[in-house]
Amino acid sequence: MRLDKFLADHNIGTRKQIKEYIKNGRCKVNGIVASKPDVHIDENKDEISFDGKELTYSKFHYYMLNKPVGVVSSTTDKKASTVIELLKEENVRGLSPCGRLDIDTEGLLLLTDDGELIHRLLSPKKHVDKTYEVHIRSKLSEKDKALLEEGVDIGDKNDDGSIKLTLPSKVSIYSDGDENGNPIILLTIHEGRFHQVKRMLEAVGNEVLFLKRLSMGPLQLDDSLTPGEYRELNEEEMNALNIK
């Protein structure tokens, strides 16, 4: 790979700017000041630094974010802050959220520039598990719990006009009450329909007061991340997602 492309991939600047930076001796290759922008490097073995900071090469990037309430799960928005803005210090172009969480929902969100992984996790055919901590208005009866697990009508239709029930889910009682006395359940679903969790609880005459995603597939939210904090995926998580 050419040195200037490597630096451009790290959002160091435009090709023209990078040429000037190299001319001014701001980049080193294996500890030696680089003299030409078109010099070829081995991005996997050579040590590249810019202004004294070492740069590592990754074809794709993977970040776990504990999405806070009030931030939208998109790359741009004219009215609200976006999850991409929370990672603006990373200088990584092309990041996208893997799926969406509503603006009033917090919890696990994967951000990556790996389009194949996004497709694999979001494909309706894959039925990837997603588990949520759900604070609800009133205690869930055994009948309502059974209905949620069997599948409920949330207003969607099949192509032939028939009712499209939600896929079978898993419901467990997490706590009898939060600080406000509202019951908490854990709900695992295998789809990603619009406002699905909220609509499922509405279908059994209940109401979601607070929603937090805890897991997506094998990826579990890191308890040490407070809302708004993020980190790169570790090796164990990468292996669990079958990332080479």
Whichever domain contains 163, its CATH number is: 3.30.70.1560
State whether 107 and 226 are in the same domain.
yes
Place of tokens 């990041």: 95
Decide which of 13, 34, 55 is a domain's last residue.
Answer: 55
Write the CA distances from 126 to 123, 130, 164, 190, 198, integer angstroms: 5, 12, 18, 8, 22
Task: Determine the average pLDDT of the residues in 189-216.
Answer: 97
State whether 226 and 122 are in the same domain.
yes
State whether 133 and 160 are in the same domain.
yes
Task: Determine the average pLDDT of the residues in 48-73.
Answer: 92
Confidence of residue 134 (pLDDT cuts 50, 70, 90): very high
- Measured CA to CA, the distance from residue 99 to residue 196 in angstroms comes to 13
State whether 46 and 63 are in the same domain.
no
pLDDT exceeds 90 at position 138: yes
pLDDT exceeds 70 at position 54: yes
State whether 226 and 112 are in the same domain.
yes
Decide which of 38, 55, 72 is a domain's last residue.
Answer: 55
Give the domain CATH number at 13: 3.10.290.10
Name the 3-class secondary structure at 230: strand
Number of compact structural domains in the chain: 3
Name the 3-class secondary structure at 3: helix
Task: Determine the average pLDDT of the residues in 193-210.
Answer: 97
- Measured CA to CA, the distance from residue 44 to residue 47 in angstroms comes to 9
State whether 74 and 108 are in the same domain.
yes
Mean pLDDT of the chain: 93
Confidence of residue 45 (pLDDT cuts 50, 70, 90): confident
State whether 106 and 122 are in the same domain.
yes
Please give the residue range of the domain that contains residue 25.
3-55
* Residue of 4, 38, 46, 102 marked catalytic: 102
Percentage above 90 pLDDT, the chain: 80
State whether 119 and 226 are in the same domain.
yes
Task: Determine the average pLDDT of the residues in 68-89.
Answer: 93
Q: What is the DSSP letter of 2?
A: B
The alpha helices in the chain, defined as continuous H runs, are 3-9, 15-23, 83-86, 115-122, 142-150, 196-203, 235-240
pLDDT exceeds 80 at position 11: no
Does residue 176 have an active-site annotation? no
Tell me what pLDDT residue 132 has: 98
Which residue, 126, 71, 109, 91, is CA-closest to 213? 109
State whether 85 and 152 are in the same domain.
no
Percentage above 70 pLDDT, the chain: 99
* Cβ atoms of residues 155 and 199 within 8 Å: yes
Write the CA distances from 89 to 10, 85, 140, integer angstroms: 11, 8, 43
Q: Which two tokens stand for residue 20?
A: 């000037």
State whether 137 and 155 are in the same domain.
yes
Decide which of 55, 71, 98 is a domain's last residue.
Answer: 55
